[in-house]
A and B are shown apart, each in its own frame.
Chain A
Amino acid sequence: MEIYHIQNVSFTFPMQEKKALEGINLTIQGGEFITIGGKSGSGKSTLLRQVKPILSPHGKREGTLTYRGRPIEDVDQRTQASDIGFVLQNPDNGIVTDKVWHELAFGLESLGLDQQTIRLRVAEMASFFGIQTWFHKSVTELSGGQKQLLNLASIMAMHPSVLLLDEPTSQLDPIAAADFIETLRKINQELGTTIILTEHRLEEVLPVSDRFIVMDEGRVIVDGTPREAGEALWCMGHPMFTAMPSSMQIYAGVTKDTPFPVTVKEGRQWLDRYLEDKSNVREEVTLNSQTLNNTNQLPALRFKDVWFKYEKNGVNIIKDLSFEVAEGQLYCLVGGNGTGKTTALSLAGGLYHPYRGKVLIGGKNILSMQAKELFTNNIAYLPQNPQHLFVKKTVEQDLYEILSRSSMSKEEKARKITAMAEFLELEPLFAMHPYDLSGGEQQRAALAKVLLLEPRILLLDEPTKGLDSFFKAKLASYLKQLNANGVTILMVSHDIEFCAKYGDVCALFFNGSITTSGAAKPFFAGNHFYTTAANRMVRHVWREGVTVEDVIALCKNTR
């Protein structure tokens, strides 16, 4: 059954010349699982909001859009609410009420169902999603993954036939994200609900998708099964290909004769076939375990037997943590949720103080430093949500704001800001409100702001959260330049791929302390599960193949 028929649809925001969507033609059948990809600002979300008119932004739409054969304008509000579910990006913003059970019932109350029906539906949903154990909880007690699951469940309770999701996993950690995708798959398979979602992280979602649509500049450029789409992107040489699963990238980098692999498993099988007739699959010499302790100079940042807890009688969050970050390094702390990574970062920033042990900045105890000494030309901390730093109406004013208390002359300030804007490519955004920027642009503006304090040590909390692959590559290039200028960077991240590719040193955080650490590549080569998809695909042949580029090179060396 045809759910949506989109014919030559274009959309223009008010007061803008450029079309946000242009000539979109799509037919969506019932029960399909569709993933929409593309850079930030390519029109993914705009398209998604067009098919649920109550959420469509103001603007002018052309072309015809039908829902189950009826023009979408004629679909009344009640049908829209119950039939077309929409999950927002930020799990916190989607939740309206204070209790889990009330949230589940919210939509049903709006539809005016009676007690008995609501009771049944709520019970069904709680069982289907495994919510029973936290059914009576208050929503503030939930983790991010649970919140997003609650958003999904409260929509599913209304029995929609289409589910629209706008980057639903971008704010979740990888494990919660994988769980969420798995739940979507279950909904699609077991209930036959049509699913349309936009996503940046394709590694998990592509294997479960029936169709992958790629958008660029408001147009649909590729539309097909994940395999076909990957192939098409590769043939076009489109930069979006770098966002595809590692197995696909490796495959495309080496040969091209069978259908593109999508999962790690398929990649592994292909690799085995590929290597079958090759004689000299040699084990690469172990990557020289890079001389890390080459410096006898003082480390830029040093934790010495640090213990920390939030309350006197509370549990220890950080337990006997010791590590050193050398000057000019990009040091990545990876690890699961709730292991204390972010707390360690706050300790490094002097926001908390350990009750035992020391945190030394350039050899000086952080406790003995004044705020002024600590935060001028010394340490800067970029919070997870860049919005927490923005104060003014435009990006430019915001940058001036942070220099407002320094004694520099006007010209000097202007010169500095221009230089910074040039470095981070911010000039085109100067006149915009910080909240109107995309996630990646906000990140950049916030980075510019803290960098104007000219820190020697930069602390980053999940800087790649919610960024698309292009912005990640850009961010990495900025960080590398900063490293080259002698800035030390300590970063907390869930993004294994990013850390493996760009980090100098990686450390696995577990149970309040660092379990292992080492130069990025040997570090990941030594892990079995907590490693990159590329490594998982090839580690039975080459343990050291960590990044996609490594593996492609290794494959090409084999004859």
Chain B
Amino acid sequence: MNSGFATFHPFVNLVYFIAVLLFGMWFMHPDFQAIALVSAIVYAIVLRGRAAVKFQLIYMLPLLLVMALINPAFNHAGVTILFYLKNGNPITLESIQYGLASACMFVTVIIWFSCYNAVMTSDKFIYLFGKIIPALSLIFSMVLRFVPRYQNQLKRISFAQRSIGQDMSQGNLLYRAKNGLTILSIMTTWALENAIETADSMKSRGYGLPGRTSYSLYRFDNRDKGCLIIMFILVAVVLSGQVKGENTMRFFPSIKVAEVTPFSILVYIAYSGLCMLPVIHYILEGIKWRSITSRM
């Protein structure tokens, strides 16, 4: 994904996802849950299009229903008894609602993670990690270089061996196992031999000199700063709502929802703004683009 919110600095992306994931798990208030779920779904569709719709209908919807049903079957707390099961256990309104709420939370988090995966590519992850432990980011990068290389090499060696009739796919079981070991042994020799040259290449370019820096393509510019400030303001409003108890919800023994007040509406708006931030950004960019192209 090379457009929209994903083009912001990785740190901005990370802060956003940490915020929505934590809030999504924390707030059980139905209004908040609805906001989070809807935002996550919309963002996933913006990011992944048709595939996201399919994913949500095929996997997420059944998951939501199953989880909502399972909770009341095992959880019998709550004061509003609807009916009794054959074994004498009561089904309560509270447990049904709690089941729904927790299923909703679970699904929201999964969808948030699917968005996270699309936005936080390995590059960004390595970069952020590298900020904390610089040596690690180089190791990550080298591993990502060598794994596909070794896979490719293994394929070639196995090919070469097959062409003299000594591959894993030929002969009886013992013979195959022996051939497999042979291939592995060739692979090891090859890897060690060639690693020496790679070490030479690193040495010749000054690896090991003190004071190594770490370069990245990412720049933290004004756009990132602005976005981060907006996010912090929204988070602050949402948190103050939490402090004042606007976001809380009690399920057991009886349901108690925080009342809707003018302040709580402000908190709702802030939370929607936070969750919908990438989508709003996407829409605004779209409008802007249109108006620019219409003038060209």
User: Do A81 and B198 form a contact, CB below 8 Å, given A96-B145, A102-B141, A391-B182?
Assistant: no
Q: List chain B residues, Cβ under 8 A from A376.
A: 165
Indicate if B7 sits at the interface (CB-CB under 8 A): no
Q: Name the segment of A59-67, A172-180, A306-314, A378-386 touching the other chain.
A: A378-386
Q: Is A251 located at the chain interface by the 8 A CB criterion?
A: no
Contact with B along A386-427 (1 / 0, CB 8 A): 011111000000000010000000000000000000000000
Instruction: State whether the Cβ of B213 lies closer than 8 Å to any Cβ in chain A.
Output: yes
Residues of chain A in range 502-541 having any CB-CB distance to chain B below 8 Å: none
Give B223 Cβ to nearest chain A Cβ, in Å: 18
Tell me whether chain A's interface is mostly helix, strand or loop, or mixed. helix
The answer on a CB contact under 8 Å between A391 and B185 is: yes
Residues in B with CB closer than 8 Å to A201 are none
With A and B bound together, what is the CA distance between A376 and B160 in angstroms?
Answer: 15
Task: Check if A241 is an interface residue, CB within 8 A of chain B.
Answer: no
B88 within 8 A of A: no
Q: Are A139 and B145 in contact (CB under 8 A)?
A: yes
B195 vs chain A, min Cβ distance (A):
8
Contact of B215 among A81, A115, A385 (CB under 8 A): A115
Asked if A374 meets B165 with Cβ closer than 8 Å, knowing A98-B141, A115-B213, A118-B215, the reply is yes
The reply to whether B163 and A78 contact each other, CB–CB distance below 8 Å, is: no
Is the CB–CB distance between B204 and A52 below 8 Å? yes
Residues in B neighbouring A95, C-beta threshold 8 A = 145, 198, 201
Q: How far is the CA of A391 from the CA of B211 in the complex (A)?
A: 42
C-alpha spacing A351/B167, complex, angstroms: 11
Task: Find residues 187-226 in chain B having any chain A CB closer than 8 Å to their own CB.
Answer: 189-190, 193-194, 197-198, 200-217
Partner of A388, one of B186, B200, B206, B207: B186
A159 within 8 A of B: no
Cβ–Cβ contact A98 & B144, under 8 A: yes
- Closest CB in chain A relative to B157 CB, distance in Å: 5
**Is A97's CB under 8 angstroms from B145's CB?**
yes
Q: How far is the CA of A97 from the CA of B217 in the complex (A)?
A: 14
The verdict on A435 contacting chain B, using a C-beta distance below 8 Å, is: yes
Indicate if B244 sits at the interface (CB-CB under 8 A).
Answer: no
Q: Given A109-B213, A349-B163, A375-B165: A383 and B206 within 8 A (CB)?
A: no
Task: Give which listed residue, A88, A107, A346, A450, contacts B206 with CB less than 8 A.
Answer: A107
Residues of A within 8 A of B144 (CB): 98, 138
Q: Which residues of A contact B201 (CB under 8 A)?
A: 86, 88, 93-96, 151
Query: Are the C-beta atoms of B186 and A98 separated by less than 8 Å?
Result: no
- Are A154 and B145 within 8 A (Cβ)? no
Contact B189 A96 (CB under 8 A): no
Q: Which positions 133-152 of chain B face chain A at CB distance < 8 Å?
A: 138, 141-142, 144-145, 148-149, 152
A368 to chain B, nearest CB (A): 16
Q: In this assembly, does A266 line the interface, its C-beta being within 8 Å of a C-beta of chain B?
A: no
Is the C-beta of A55 less than 8 angstroms from some C-beta in chain B?
yes
Q: B11 within 8 Å of A by Cβ?
A: no
Are B149 and A140 in contact (CB-based, < 8 A)? yes
**In contact, B202 and A96 (Cβ under 8 angstroms):** yes
Residues of B within 8 A of A351 (CB): 159, 162-163
B245 contacts partner chain A, Cβ-Cβ < 8 Å: no
Docked CA distance A81–B206 (Å): 5
Say whether, besides A55-B204, A108-B215, A371-B171, A388 and B160 are in contact (CB < 8 Å): yes
Contact indicator B164/A99 (Cβ below 8 Å): no
**B203/A54 in contact, CB under 8 A:** yes
Cβ distance B191 to chain A, nearest Cβ, rounded Å? 11
Interface contact A86-B204, CB-CB below 8 Å: yes
**Nearest Cβ on chain A to B52's Cβ, whole angstroms:** 23
A-B interface pairs (CB < 8 A), number: 160
Docked CA distance A388–B152 (Å): 12
* A140 adjacent to B206 (CB under 8 Å): no
Q: Give complex CA distance A75, B197 in Å.
A: 22
Q: Report the Cα distance A346→B189, complex, angstroms.
A: 25
The answer to whether the Cβ of A82 comes within 8 Å of any Cβ in the partner chain is yes
Indicate if the CB atoms of A110 and B206 lie closer than 8 Å.
yes
- Tell me, yes or no, whether B75 is within 8 Å of chain A by CB: no
In the complex, whether A298 has a CB less than 8 A from a CB of chain B is no
Q: How far is the CA of A525 from the CA of B187 in the complex (A)?
A: 44
A52, A109, A383: the one contacting B156 at CB < 8 Å is A383
Kindly supply a per-residue 1/0 record for chain B positions 59-95, scoring 1 wherever the CB is within 8 Å of any chain A CB and 0 otherwise: 0000000000000000000000000000000000000
- Whether B161 is near chain A, meaning CB under 8 Å from some CB there, is yes
The reply to whether A109 and B215 form a contact with Cβ atoms under 8 Å apart is: yes
In the bound complex, CA of A371 to CA of B162 (Å): 9
Contact A388 B161 (CB under 8 A): yes
A78 in contact with B206 (CB, 8 Å): yes
Q: Is B259 an interface residue (CB 8 A)?
A: no
Q: Provided the pairs A55-B200, A107-B205, A435-B193 are in contact, do residues A390 and B186 lie with their beta carbons within 8 angstroms?
A: yes
Q: B217's closest neighbor in chain A, by CB?
A: A101
Partner of B190, one of A77, A158, A387: A387
The reply to whether the CB of B170 lies closer than 8 angstroms to some CB of chain A is yes
In the complex, how many angstroms separate the beta carbon of A471 from the nearest chain B beta carbon?
21
**Chain B positions within 8 Å of A13 at CB level:** none
Choice from B186, B193, B198, B208 contacting A110 with Cβ under 8 Å: B208
B123 touches A99 (CB 8 A): yes
Determine whether the beta carbon of B148 is less than 8 Å from that of A140. yes
Chain A CB within 10 A, most for which of B149, B159, B198, B215:
B215
Q: A154 near B205 (CB under 8 angstroms)?
A: yes
Cβ–Cβ < 8 Å partners of A139 in chain B: 145
**What residues on A are CB-neighbors of B194 within 8 Å?**
90, 92-93
- What are the residues of chain B within 8 A of A245 when measuring CB–CB? none
Assembled-state Cα–Cα distance A431/B246 (Å) = 82
B145 proximity list for chain A (CB < 8 A): 95-98, 139-140
Tell me the minimal C-beta distance from A140 to chain B in angstroms.
Answer: 5
Smallest CB-CB separation from A106: which chain B residue? B205
CA distance A78 to B201 in the complex (A): 15
Contact present for B141 and A110 (CB under 8 Å): no
Chain B CB within 10 Å — which of A98, A111, A402 has the most?
A98
A84 to B208 Cα, complex, angstroms: 16
Contact of B149 among A84, A92, A459 (CB under 8 A): A92
Residues of chain B within 8 A of A112, CB atoms compared: 209-213
A440 within 8 A of partner (CB): no
B218 to chain A, nearest CB (A): 10
Chain A residue at minimal CB-CB distance from B186: A391
A105-B215, A112-B211, A381-B160 given. 11 additional CB < 8 A pairs? A81-B209, A90-B197, A92-B149, A93-B198, A94-B198, A101-B217, A107-B206, A109-B212, A351-B159, A374-B165, A388-B190
Q: Closest 10 A-B residue pairs measured CB to CB? A: A81-B206, A375-B165, A381-B163, A388-B160, A112-B211, A107-B205, A110-B206, A93-B197, A98-B144, A383-B160
Q: List 15 A-B contacts (CB under 8 A).
A: A88-B197, A92-B149, A94-B197, A95-B198, A96-B142, A97-B145, A98-B141, A108-B213, A110-B212, A114-B213, A122-B215, A140-B149, A351-B159, A381-B164, A383-B163
